[in-house]
């Protein structure tokens, strides 16, 4: 019985550490800083027609715009160049 409570406490501590690590590394998001476009979700379809969720990430590039480095999608790079 004591061992069971120790496992629960250990899992909660690990979850807190995991939450701190996730918040630390998700500050740099995969979104365009100009248009705000981010990754989209969809289905990956196998040959046997089994559907599983997947993520479509956008093509982000770091560019210097107005003297500042920004993460910009390629669509915005095309419109800025025009």
Give which of 43, 38, 44, 41 is closest to 55, Cα–Cα.
Answer: 41
* Percentage of the chain modeled with pLDDT above 90: 57
- Domains annotated on the chain, with CATH: 2-81 (2.30.170.40)
pTM: 0.57
Average pLDDT, the chain: 77
Q: Are 65 and 76 in contact (CB under 8 A)?
A: no
Instruction: Please tell me whether residue 6 adopts helix, strand or coil conformation.
Output: helix
Total length of the chain: 82
Nearest-angstrom CA–CA distance, 70 and 76 = 11
With pLDDT > 70 as the criterion, what percentage of the chain qualifies?
66
Q: Mean pLDDT, to the nearest integer, of 6-19?
A: 48
- Residues 6 or more apart whose CB falls under 8 angstroms from that of 64 comprise 70
């Amino acid at each position: 019985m004591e061992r069971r409570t120790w496992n629960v406490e250990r899992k909660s501590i690990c979850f807190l550490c995991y939450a701190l690590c996730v918040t630390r590394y998700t500050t740099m998001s995969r979104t365009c800083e100009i248009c705000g476009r981010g990754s989209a979700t969809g289905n990956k379809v196998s040959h046997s027609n089994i559907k599983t969720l997947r993520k479509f990430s956008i093509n982000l590039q770091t560019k210097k715009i107005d003297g500042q480095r920004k993460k910009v999608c390629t669509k915005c790079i095309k419109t800025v160049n025009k």
